[in-house]
Every structure is written in structure tokens, then in C-alpha cells.
Amino acid sequence: MSENAAATPTDSPEAVQAGLVSSAYQQALEVIAGVEPRVAEATRQELADQRASLKLIASENYASPAVLLTMGTWFSDKYAEGTVGHRFYAGCQNVDTVEALAAEHARELFGAEYAYAQPHSGIDANLVAFWSILAHRVEGPWLEKYGAKNVNELSEEDWESLRHELGNQRLLGMSLDAGGHLTHGFRPNISGKMFHQQQYGTDPQTGLLDYDAVRAKAKEFRPLVLVAGYSAYPRRVNFAKMREIADEVGATLMVDMAHFAGLVAGKVFTGDEDPVPHAHVVTTTTHKSLRGPRGGLVLAQEEYAPSVDRGCPMVLGGPLSHVMAAKAVALAEARQPSFAGYAQRIADNATSLADGFLSRGANLVTGGTDNHLVLLDVSSFGLTGRQAESALLDAGVVTNRNSVPADPNGAWYTSGIRLGTPALTTRGFGHDEFDQVAALIVDVLKSTTPGTTKAGGPSKASYRLEDGVADKTRAASAEMLDKHPLYPGLELV
Ligand SMILES: *Cc1c(COP(=O)(O)O)cnc(C)c1O
């Protein structure tokens, strides 16, 4: 192309890029179809389905083609237990390169002292964090007392006592129905079994975190680990205050920013709302608002680094080198100036979505949002979360049901719907479109009535959506979705 040639739609950088991506996927699918055509077909169909629906699941997003393509390589074939430059397997020099890059980008992006890129998912990152805190705070001092370098040097009786000590520690986290995660001490979860646990909730009147109540509980319970972070709380958290509470009781503050890492990366959450300067250990997923590959990360203050490094093979299976490579690509993307704009639009769009509901008379837990999600209480529509979720799915609106605080319908049927803006914001939806999304959802819920059980009572699961509403909603969504194509220019023949 000559330098003077005017950029035409077909030779603009975006078009060239889209052409490369199209042919990469076209050819990959042909290779896959040669072995198992049904997998190739399902993969094509998944793209078509994702393109045609309003994705409002607060924990989902759309990673870039560069991130997705990075995952499909021979890095998948390599074992790399250990850490960068210190592996239990030979020939890890290229894995070292990508893992070191992922960690460096993570440290720079979040201003963290230390980053560990190996966790396979958010839950795995939390397991690494728990064991790291136990090793640092309990096992370390114990070994020191016995003058031992590691557990192999302990006598059988001493090892038995250490095991008892490790299994006898306390954790305080946010309850599931207040918006916390299963791994924050929920009884049936391993975190609620390996630790003596207690949970803090939110204020029954306002639905907001009550720091004085958290402090009172921490002072009474004196946990080793104080966990902050959430999956379904529509508000920001003051992590400086949480650190103060942790310090008052001698706890380690662990923040799980799985949901809102993108807002931290994009500097929407700064100062007291940025967990990294305040927490001893921060865990996250990389695939939610951060918009990377499916995976996890641990960030830590230097003193926790040696115990975090023992994640694999003491807690985790061998690292997924192809995913660590994709984390490096995604984190490089998040360090570009445009990511801050994306993060700000996520938050602005959530405000628009919340206002859209409130102006149409719907109830939101906490009365609104100041992060990336809203929690819609559907009981005023006479529905359970399960009925609302199903009726919305019929109309092409993908959400998930979620309990509201003190939910009368329990964790299975629930009374809420959780909606997040990261995915549609990636597609380019803006303020007015999120208002229209709220209008469509209210319309579907108003047109849905609960079914009846065999005994004649109101059902919590079955429902009836008025004729024509699903089609009308799909048509209105399609107009917006067509305006903001997913992976623009990616065409498969
Ligand atoms: C999503 C989430 C997780 C779990 O992430 P996975 O990658 O599914 O293991 C952990 N903690 C919080 C707060 C989450 O929202």
C-alpha cells in the first residue's frame, strides 16, 4: 500500500485486523471439523448465540480476539510446576517469559508488590491465598518455635499438633445472601469447613455494609483472616476501613476483587476503594470486568510472596501456560489508556441501568449502584428470581437469579436478578441503550405471571409470559445488538 493511498474501509487497520481474525478462526474451525465436526459446529453456534443475546450476566465479558487466540497454542502442552526460573520440569524458558510478563503487567497495572499468575480460576486463587496466609501466619511461627526448616523436620507428634493448629483458625467474611462469595466462609464450601467461620451481612434497612457491625463482630470473633469483596453487592467498599478493622484485631486482610478488578485496573476505584494498597493479599479472576482469559491472579504484599509462590504444586495443579500467556496479553490491553475509558463506561452504564429501573418503579437492593452491577428485587412483580430469569431468557435477555438479603425464597428460587454492564459495554452499548434495556426488562417482568403448583398454590418455578412479548423484546434487542456487533468484522463462512 502506498503511503498516499486514502484509507478505505477495506484497508483500514481495523479492517485488516478483522480479516486476519476471520481467516484465523475460519481455518481453525476447518481443522477442528476434520476431527470432530460437532465441536466445530457448537463453537460456531456459540458465537451466533452470544451475538444474538443481551448478555447481562455481571461476571461475564467478551475477551479480545488476541486474548482468545493466545489460548489456542502449544503452550498448553507444557508442564511448568514451580515458579519462574525455578521449575520442577526442564525446558520452561518460554513459559518463564510469558509468566514473568503476566506478573510484571499485573504488578504495574495494580501497583502491587508481588503478583502470582498461576491460579486456574478465582476459587483457586482464593485457595492459594488461604494456604499462603496459614503458612505465613501459623506454620511459619510454629516451625520457628521448633527450629525446623519445613514440616519434614517435625516429629510425628509435632506435625500432628501443627495440623491441629492449622485446622483451628478463624475466618470472617461477607455472607452469601448479602453478596459475598461461596469461598468467603459459606458453611458448605471448603472455606467454611477448613476455618471456623463467621459472616457479616449488610444493614437490614439500607442494604449497605455497616463497618461498625463488621468491627464489632471482628472484635468478638478475632479472626485470623478478614475477607472483603463480593459477587452481588452493588456498592463500593472502603478497604482502608476494612484494613483498620483487620489491624485492630490482628487479622490478615484478604480482598477478593474477582468481580470489580476491571474497575480497579481502570482507576474507577481509587484511594480507599482500591484494595491493593490496603490488603495484605488480593485475589481476582481475570475474565470478569478485567476482560481477560478465564483464570485467576493473586497479588500480595512482599511478606506473603514466599508462601503464595508455593501455590503450585502445593495447592494447584500444573500452571496453564497458554492461559498465563493470554493473561499477559489481556493485562497489556488493560494497561492501555483506552481501558480506563472502558472501565468508566461500565460504571456510568450501571448508573443508567439503575436509573432506568428506578424511574419505572422497580426496586433495587440498596436503592441503586455505584459499581458495575445492580440487584433487582423482583418480588414487587409477584415473581421469584427463578421465574424472572426464565421469562427474560425466553425474551433473549441473559441474566442470573440471585438472592437478596434475608431472601424469603432461599438460594435456589431467590427473589432477585443480578445484572451487570461489563459485557454489553464491551460491545459499545451506552447510556440510552442501558435505559432501554431496563425498559425491556420491566416490560417482560410486568407481562409475566406465576404458574400454579399441582396442589393449586402459587408456583415458585413455573410462569406464563404473555404472547408476543418475547418476540417484541427480541426485535427491540436485535436493533441495538446489530448497531454494536460482537467481534465486528469477524465473519465465518
Ligand atoms: C466469580 C468469583 C469467584 C470464582 O471465580 P471462578 O473463576 O469461577 O473460580 C471467586 N470470588 C468471587 C468474589 C467471585 O465473584
pTM metric for this prediction? 0.95
Query: How many angstroms separate the alpha carbon of residue 186 from the centre of ligand 1?
Result: 13
Dist CA 3 CA 18 (whole Å): 21
Domain boundaries, position 371: 341-483
- 3-class SS of residue 197: strand
Ligand 1 atom nearest to CA at 259: 15
Of 374, 348, 409, nearest to 207 by C-alpha is 374
Identify whether residues 206 and 226 lie together within a single domain: yes
Dist CA 68 CA 189 (whole Å): 31
Ligand 1 atom nearest to CA at 231: 15
Q: Is 417 inside a domain boundary?
A: yes
Identify whether residues 257 and 358 lie together within a single domain: no
Number of domains in the chain: 2
Query: How many angstroms separate the alpha carbon of residue 287 from the centre of ligand 1?
Result: 10
Ligand 1 atom nearest to CA at 123: 9
Kindly compute the dihedral angle of the four CA atoms of residues 405, 407, 412, 418, in this order, to the nearest 10 degrees. -50
Dist CA 447 CA 393 (whole Å): 14
Identify whether residues 221 and 290 lie together within a single domain: yes
Q: Is 491 inside a domain boundary?
A: no
Ligand 1 atom nearest to CA at 180: 13
Identify whether residues 147 and 294 lie together within a single domain: yes
Here the cell at position 257 is 476483587
**Inter-residue contact 273 to 371 (CB < 8 Å):** no
Query: How many angstroms separate the alpha carbon of residue 211 from the centre of ligand 1?
Result: 23
Dist CA 405 CA 377 (whole Å): 10
Dist CA 146 CA 31 (whole Å): 59
Q: Is 33 inside a domain boundary?
A: no
Contacts of 120 (CB under 8 A, 6+ apart): 295, 296, 316, 317, 319, 320, 323
Q: Report phi then psi at 450, rounded to 5.
A: -65, 145
Angle, vertex CA 393, rays to CA 481 and CA 407, nearest 5: 125
For residue 231, what is the domain's CATH number?
A: 3.40.640.10
Identify whether residues 267 and 357 lie together within a single domain: no
Residue where a domain stops, chosen among 318, 334, 350: 334
Nearest alpha carbon, ligand 1 atom 10:
122
Q: Is 14 inside a domain boundary?
A: no
Burial group, residue 48, by CB count within 10 angstroms (0-12, 13-18, 19+): exposed
Q: Is 474 inside a domain boundary?
A: yes
Identify whether residues 151 and 259 lie together within a single domain: yes
Give, to the nearest 10 degrees, the angle between helix 321-334 and helix 93-110: 30
Nearest alpha carbon, ligand 1 atom 3:
122
Mutate-to-test residue for ligand 1 from 181, 291, 315, highest number of ligand atoms within 8 A of CB: 181
Ligand 1 atom nearest to CA at 229: 13
Identify whether residues 231 and 299 lie together within a single domain: yes
Q: Is 15 inside a domain boundary?
A: no
Query: How many angstroms separate the alpha carbon of residue 41 from the centre of ligand 1?
Result: 29
Identify whether residues 279 and 148 lie together within a single domain: yes
Residues with CB under 6 A from ligand 1: 59, 121-123, 181, 183, 229, 231, 256, 258-259, 285, 296
| pLDDT value for 3 | 46
| pLDDT value for 9 | 66
Nearest alpha carbon, ligand 1 atom 15:
231
Identify whether residues 163 and 203 lie together within a single domain: yes
Query: How many angstroms separate the alpha carbon of residue 487 from the centre of ligand 1?
Result: 25
Nearest alpha carbon, ligand 1 atom 5:
122
- 3-class SS of residue 312: helix
**Inter-residue contact 282 to 125 (CB < 8 Å):** no
Identify whether residues 443 and 459 lie together within a single domain: yes
Residue where a domain stops, chosen among 302, 334, 366: 334
Query: How many angstroms separate the alpha carbon of residue 111 from the centre of ligand 1?
Result: 22
Identify whether residues 183 and 327 lie together within a single domain: yes
CA distances, 273 to each of 138, 245, 276, 337 (Å): 29, 15, 9, 20
Nearest alpha carbon, ligand 1 atom 8:
122
Q: How many CB atoms are closer than 10 A to CB 221? A: 17
Q: Is 61 inside a domain boundary?
A: no
User: Over its length of 493 residues, how does the chain's per-residue pLDDT go in tens digits?
Assistant: 444 444 556 788 888 889 999 999 999 999 999 999 999 999 999 999 999 999 999 999 999 999 999 999 999 999 999 999 999 999 999 999 999 999 999 999 999 999 999 999 999 999 999 999 999 999 999 999 999 999 999 999 999 999 999 999 999 999 998 999 999 999 999 999 999 999 999 998 999 999 999 999 999 999 999 999 999 999 999 999 999 999 999 999 999 999 999 999 999 999 999 999 999 999 999 999 999 999 999 999 999 999 999 999 899 999 999 999 999 999 999 999 999 999 999 999 999 999 999 999 999 999 999 999 999 999 999 999 999 999 999 999 999 999 998 899 998 999 999 999 999 999 999 999 999 999 999 999 999 999 998 898 889 999 999 999 999 999 999 999 999 999 998 999 8
Q: Is 138 inside a domain boundary?
A: yes
Residues annotated catalytic, as ranges: 79, 81, 256, 285, 288, 294
Nearest alpha carbon, ligand 1 atom 12:
258
Residue where a domain stops, chosen among 287, 318, 334: 334
Q: Report phi then psi at 175, rounded to 5.
A: -70, 155
Identify whether residues 196 and 147 lie together within a single domain: yes
For residue 445, what is the domain's CATH number?
A: 3.90.1150.10
| pLDDT value for 256 | 98
